Amino acid sequence: MDGQIEVTSKQFQRHKLFTRELPMLMYAFGDTMAPAPESVDVLEDILVDYVNSMCVQAAKVSGRRGKVTVDDFKFVLRKDPKKLARVEELIAMNKEIETARTMF
- Prediction pTM value: 0.72
**Cα(5)–Cα(97) distance, integer angstroms:** 51
Distances (CA, A) of 15 to 18, 20, 51: 9, 12, 14
Give the chain's residues under pLDDT 70.
1-14
Residue 62: the pLDDT is 87
**Cα(42)–Cα(57) distance, integer angstroms:** 23
Residue 1: the pLDDT is 46
Residue 14: the pLDDT is 60
- What is 21-103's CATH topology? Histone, subunit A (1.10.20)
Residue 81: the pLDDT is 95
Residue 10: the pLDDT is 46
**Cα(41)–Cα(28) distance, integer angstroms:** 17
